[in-house]
């Protein structure tokens, strides 16, 4: 089969398909289509656009469309607040749509959110006429199903990943050349505090478990402790460098999974060039639609699903805030609830919230009540395991007063007395005599 012939147009010509009032979806994370974003902003600068809505998961690199100077031209309504748009969102020049990561695709497929134009970045076509979405599938397939125009930046740096990432040229309307390396994430060595959290989490992970965890120092600290484990699997929304050594040593092999055996399943990636090289042309990695990776009932099909997620703050009853610092939005709901619930449904599964007990300034992240304006992402009825550097506690099935004592037991020692006093004032004299 010969690939469908196609020709390139300039980025500035391609973005002429975007009209005022359109809803535009961008591929995300490391694979944000920089050449198209820049061209879209030039079209905005030239005065051709008003009230264009921009949607995506978080993106790496610059996000000029969220800057104050584009007010009235672009409206950023993304599904997650990344570091590159955080100040704009907090200042009100950009906005955020609270949504479970599993349902980002549903916003498009149900028609709740319109989609007129999709801008993606893909690998060069293969001899069969397919390109790959590389490091990010997420909600992009759903957006492509609804869009009138699909514009692809063809970039030799995009790895050729498999699974739902493979799409035929026939699904793309315009092609633009791109030649920019993907954004990379570089990680500092974990601190002693993070290493302690990693050890406590690793102790909860059983041989044959299927893992989900995010990106950053704590996930890497957990993964670094798993060298002695056996037959681990990966079904996650994302993974990064910490997984690679476990694959190389055979610790992660997926042989104990019930579905997608011997495959690493993810919907997006962020890491070093080594991660991007690892997934390139690698049939072991399946990059899938977020409707698949984050469906709690699909997650639960694997045994011993162990989901490790983080928090910005937790109160003594187990309410987890993971998206805001008080009223200031910091990140998003993401896939935390998808995997907390999926792990809780899995046979032998464990849902874990792992976080330092204090902020870098020494403020306790465990509080009598959440900060004013803080949102609850994981409810007190969803939470099971909580881990800090001081240990791990299982809150599932525990009463309010029982779990309060357990949570305080792994708070920073400097704050335990204050927390205990607040609990006594909240629950009354019976609390003092709880076991």
As annotated, the active-site residues are 237
- Which residue, chain included where needed, has tokens 């993810």? 266
Could you tell me which of 18, 9, 2 has the C-alpha nearest to residue 153? 9
Q: Show the tokens assigned to 397.
A: 């099935």
Q: How many CA atoms lie within 13 A of 219 on its CB side?
A: 23
Tell me if 46 sits within 8 A of 300, measured CB to CB: no
CB atoms under 10 Å from CB of 195, counted, come to 18
Calpha distance 365→347 (Å, rounded)? 31
Report the C-alpha gap between 67 and 85 in whole angstroms: 8
Choose among 176, 159, 354, 152: nearest CA to 275: 159
Angle (CA) 109-111-117 rounded to 5° is 80
Measured distance CA(201)–CA(191) in Å, rounded:
15
Do 346 and 337 contact (CB within 8 A), yes or no? no
* The pair of three-digit structure tokens given for residue 70, joined into one six-digit string: 């584009």
Which spans in 59-114 are helix H? 86-91, 104-109
Contact 117, 270 (CB under 8 A): no
Cα–Cα distances in Å, from 97 out to 89, 107, 219, 332? 11, 10, 26, 9
């Amino acid at each position: 089969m010969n690939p469908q012939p196609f020709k390139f147009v300039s980025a500035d010509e391609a973005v002429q398909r975007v009209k005022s009032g359109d809803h535009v979806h961008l591929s995300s994370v490391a694979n944000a289509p920089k050449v198209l974003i820049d061209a879209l902003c030039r079209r905005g600068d030239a005065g051709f656009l008003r009230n264009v809505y921009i949607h995506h998961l978080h993106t790496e690199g610059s996000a000029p469309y969220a800057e104050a100077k584009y007010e009235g031209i672009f409206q950023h309504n993304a599904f997650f607040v990344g570091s590159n748009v955080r100040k704009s969102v907090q200042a009100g020049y950009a906005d955020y749509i609270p949504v479970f990561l599993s349902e980002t695709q549903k916003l498009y497929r149900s028609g709740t959110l319109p989609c007129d134009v999709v801008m993606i970045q893909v690998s060069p076509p293969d001899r069969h006429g397919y390109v790959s979405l590389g490091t990010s599938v997420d909600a992009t397939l759903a957006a492509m199903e609804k869009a009138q125009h699909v514009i692809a930046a063809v970039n030799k740096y995009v790895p050729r990943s498999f699974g739902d990432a493979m799409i035929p040229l026939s699904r793309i309307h315009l092609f633009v050349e791109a030649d920019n390396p993907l954004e990379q994430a570089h990680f500092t060595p974990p601190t002693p505090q993070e290493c302690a959290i990693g050890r406590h989490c690793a102790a909860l992970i059983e041989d044959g478990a299927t893992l989900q965890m995010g990106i950053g120092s704590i996930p890497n600290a957990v993964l670094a402790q798993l060298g002695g484990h056996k037959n681990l699997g990966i079904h996650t929304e994302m993974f990064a460098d910490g997984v690679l050594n476990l694959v190389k040593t055979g610790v992660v092999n997926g042989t104990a999974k019930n579905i997608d055996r011997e495959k690493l399943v993810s919907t997006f990636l962020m890491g070093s060039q080594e991660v991007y090289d690892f997934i390139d042309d690698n049939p072991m990695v399946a990059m899938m639609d977020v409707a698949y990776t984050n469906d709690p009932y699909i997650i639960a099909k694997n045994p011993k699903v162990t989901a490790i997620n983080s928090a910005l703050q937790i109160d003594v009853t187990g309410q987890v805030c993971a998206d805001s610092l008080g009223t200031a939005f910091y990140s998003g709901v993401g896939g935390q609830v998808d995997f907390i619930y999926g792990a809780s449904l899995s046979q032998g599964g464990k849902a874990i919230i792992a976080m330092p007990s204090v902020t870098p300034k020494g403020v306790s992240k465990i509080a009598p009540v959440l900060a004013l304006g803080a949102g609850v992402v994981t409810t007190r009825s969803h939470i099971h395991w909580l881990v800090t550097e001081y240990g791990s506690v299982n809150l599932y099935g525990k009463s309010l007063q029982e779990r309060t004592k357990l949570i305080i037991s792994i708070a920073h020692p400097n704050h335990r007395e204050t927390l205990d006093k607040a609990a006594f004032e909240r629950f009354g004299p019976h609390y003092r005599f709880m076991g």
